């Protein structure tokens, strides 16, 4: 396999605007200032907003004074956390002790433009960009007058802005999106791995930007293997001790193709894909990657979910014209049978039975669809999930699958217990999700942001 070099995000600095004085801040928005108060915001806009207060100083440092943002849409406090709020275009006034309510902790090595280093007890700085050695970096700070842009600072320095290095935690705003992704799940988005530990949810970038993705876990691997569309070509993205790697399979798929991966056997995962109205199976072996038609028709954009039920080929649960179907292959060919259940989205798991168990979205609510000797059954969880959400079911243990859902731009964990079904926010921004069981207490999710 040809391994691609890990990508680094370049940062776009703002052009200087020929305006002077605070009155100029009330002028119409700069072309790059497109976010709404409290809405999703791209990394480049965060940096441009930060740079604007450097170029057009808002006034003296004050924990009680406020000044307008570049578009005049809102006034923000003139201190370190108020500067971050302004850069992120938040709808609330935060301080270092509660910035964790609107951001997720990440690894320092994953810092990207627009992220922060936050010392909850006293100070926060806004990360700008790494230098090529990934040791030195630049950042924005409003710790005293004036607002500053500092360069060539070592990540190993004893202090940042006169506060101990060890007090700072790297965090990412929940509503930040990659440039070009639009936060809508369309176009191109950054691929991240999200996992939980006793300290909470963690969000780390793989360095790849993708158009669509699906993941499965190969036994023995530390990270999920992700199959992703990049420029109309299916790529295999995997992580090991040396980092994340991105390799082309050479298999082309049309824009908007639906894909879903399942591990069957061997070193690579299988991918089922709806391409130009037909379901295909894509697999790799010693001779390369192959794309084989199942002969099964499905509408373009159909929600599909591949699952290993123990046979030679993956089974697929698929939504066709609002109805959930089971698709499977045997020695006589591929077959498509209706479950008779309504659905707009589906994600299936193997819970040890003869048939897949599916988590579906129907009527804006998450359902569990399962089969036994008497037929297919549909159980309403009562958990609201939007019809545009991306869902991924994973079986860890117990009676019910868990579901990770990217719903309205936020990643949620949905699970059932004796007291009913529950939906909890991870605090991580996501537009698309694919989750796996890696043997831990919580699912591991690959997401697009």
Taking 80 as the threshold, does the pLDDT of residue 23 lie above it?
A: no
Whether the predicted pLDDT of 16 surpasses 80: no
| Residue 393 Cα distances to 191, 239, 279, 413, angstroms | 19, 22, 21, 10
Tell me which residue range forms the domain holding 373.
176-448
> pLDDT per residue over 327-384, tens digit each?
999 999 999 999 999 999 999 999 998 999 999 999 999 999 999 999 999 999 999 9
Instruction: Based on the fold, state whether residues 385 and 265 are members of the same structural domain.
Output: yes
Q: Are residues 217 and 255 in the same domain?
A: yes
Is residue 280 helix, strand or coil? strand
The confidence band for 164, taking pLDDT boundaries of 50, 70 and 90, is very high
Co-location of 323 and 395 in the same domain: yes
> Residue 104: its pLDDT value, please?
87
187 compared with 100, residue with greater pLDDT: 100
Pair (247, 154) in one structural domain:
no
C-alpha–C-alpha distance, residues 211 and 228, integer Å: 7
Are both 201 and 154 inside the same structural domain? no
In a domain, 4, yes or no: no
Q: Which of the four pLDDT bands, split at 50, 70 and 90, describes residue 183?
A: very low
Kindly state whether residues 252 and 207 are assigned to the same domain. yes
Question: Is the pLDDT confidence value at 27 over 80?
Answer: no
Confidence band for 95, pLDDT divided at 50, 70 and 90: very high
**Average pLDDT of span 248-257:** 89
Q: Which of 173, 194, 222 is the last residue of a domain?
A: 173
Q: Are 333 and 327 in contact (CB under 8 A)?
A: no
pLDDT tens for 185-243 read 334 678 999 999 888 899 888 988 888 999 999 999 999 999 999 888 999 999 998 89
pLDDT at 26 over 50: no
Domain-ending residue, one of 154, 173, 192 = 173
Kindly report the CATH number assigned to the domain that includes residue 344. Answer: 2.120.10.70
Q: Are 248 and 255 in contact (CB under 8 A)?
A: no
CA dihedral 160, 13, 203, 151 (to 10 degrees): -20
Domain count along the chain: 2
In a domain, 96, yes or no: yes
| Terminal Cα distance for the chain, rounded | 27
Identify the domain boundary among 173, 202, 230: 173
| Phi then psi dihedrals of residue 100, to 5 deg | -65, -20
Strands 243-252 and 233-240: antiparallel
Q: What's the pTM value of the predicted model, to 2 decimals?
A: 0.62
pLDDT at 419 over 70: yes
- Within a domain: residue 14? no
- Of the listed ranges 76-90, 253-267, 302-316, the one predicted with least confidence: 253-267
Domain annotation covers residue 16: no
The 3-class SS string of 144-155 reads CCCCEEEEEEEC
Co-location of 130 and 236 in the same domain:
no
* CATH code, 33: 3.90.1720.10
The answer to whether residue 259 scores a pLDDT higher than 80 is yes
Q: Is the pLDDT of residue 32 over 70?
A: no
Q: Does 59 reside within a domain?
A: yes
User: Does 151 share its domain with 181?
Assistant: no
Grade residue 135 by pLDDT with cuts at 50, 70 and 90: very high
229 with 359, same domain: the answer is yes
Task: State pLDDT tens for residues 282-316.
Answer: 999 999 999 999 999 999 889 999 999 998 999 99
pLDDT band at 179; cut points 50, 70, 90: low
Residue 17 within a domain: no
Q: Is residue 393 part of a domain?
A: yes
pLDDT digits (tens, 9 = 90+) for 45-56: 899 999 999 999
Do 202 and 165 belong together in one domain? Answer: no
**What pLDDT, on a 0 to 100 scale, did the predictor assign at position 388?**
83
- Asked if residue 280 has pLDDT above 50, the reply is yes
The reported pLDDT for the residue numbered 188 is 67
pLDDT tier, 20 (very low <50, low <70, confident <90, very high otherwise): very low
Verify that 274 and 303 share a domain, yes or no: yes
For residue 25, pLDDT beyond 70: no
Q: Could you give the CA distance from residue 398 to residue 275 in angstroms, rounded to a whole number?
A: 36
Does residue 3 fall inside a structural domain? Answer: no
Q: Are 181 and 189 in contact (CB under 8 A)?
A: yes
213 and 314 belong to one structural domain: yes
């Amino acid at each position: 396999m040809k391994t691609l070099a890990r990508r680094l995000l370049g940062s776009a600095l703002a052009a200087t605007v020929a305006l002077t004085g605070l009155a100029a801040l009330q002028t119409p928005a700069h072309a790059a200032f497109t976010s709404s108060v409290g809405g999703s915001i791209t990394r480049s806009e965060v940096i441009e907003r930060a740079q604007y207060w450097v170029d057009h100083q808002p006034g003296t440092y004050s924990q009680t004074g406020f000044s307008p943002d570049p578009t005049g849409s809102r006034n923000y406090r003139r201190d370190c956390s108020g500067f971050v709020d302004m850069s992120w275009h938040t709808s609330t006034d935060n301080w270092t002790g509660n910035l964790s309510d609107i951001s997720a902790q990440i690894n320092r090595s994953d810092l990207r433009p627009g992220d922060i280093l936050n010392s909850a007890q006293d100070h926060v700085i806004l990360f700008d960009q790494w230098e090529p050695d990934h040791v030195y970096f630049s950042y924005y700070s409003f710790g005293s007058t004036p607002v500053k842009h500092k360069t060539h600072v070592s990540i190993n320095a004893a202090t940042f802005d006169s506060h101990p290095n060890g007090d700072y935690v790297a965090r990412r705003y929940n509503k930040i999106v990659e440039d070009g992704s639009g936060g809508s799940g369309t176009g191109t988005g950054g691929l991240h791995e999200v996992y939980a530990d006793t300290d909470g949810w963690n969000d780390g970038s793989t360095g790849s930007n993708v158009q669509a993705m699906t993941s499965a876990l190969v036994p023995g691997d530390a990270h999920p293997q992700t199959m992703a569309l990049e420029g109309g070509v299916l790529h295999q993205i995997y992580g090991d001790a040396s980092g994340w790697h991105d390799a082309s399979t050479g298999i082309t798929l049309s824009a908007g193709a639906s894909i879903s991966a399942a591990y069957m056997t061997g070193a690579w995962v299988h991918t089922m894909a709806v391409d130009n109205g037909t379901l295909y199976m894509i697999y790799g072996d010693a001779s390369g990657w192959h794309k084989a038609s199942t002969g099964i028709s499905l509408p373009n954009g159909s929600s599909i979910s591949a699952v290993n039920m123990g046979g030679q080929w993956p089974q697929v649960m698929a939504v066709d014209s609002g109805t959930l179907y089971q698709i499977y292959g045997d020695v006589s060919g591929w077959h498509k049978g209706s479950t008779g259940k309504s659905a707009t989205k589906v994600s299936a798991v193997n819970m040890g039975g003869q048939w897949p168990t599916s988590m579906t979205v129907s009527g804006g609510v998450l359902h569990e669809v399962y089969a036994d000797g008497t037929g297919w059954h549909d159980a309403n969880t009562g958990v609201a999930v939007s019809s545009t959400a991306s869902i991924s079911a994973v079986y860890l243990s117990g009676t019910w699958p868990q579901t990770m859902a990217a719903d309205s731009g936020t990643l949620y964990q949905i699970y059932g217990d004796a007291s009913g079904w529950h939906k909890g926010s991870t605090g991580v921004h996501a537009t698309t999700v694919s989750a796996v069981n890696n043997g831990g207490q919580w699912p591991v999710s690959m997401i697009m942001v």
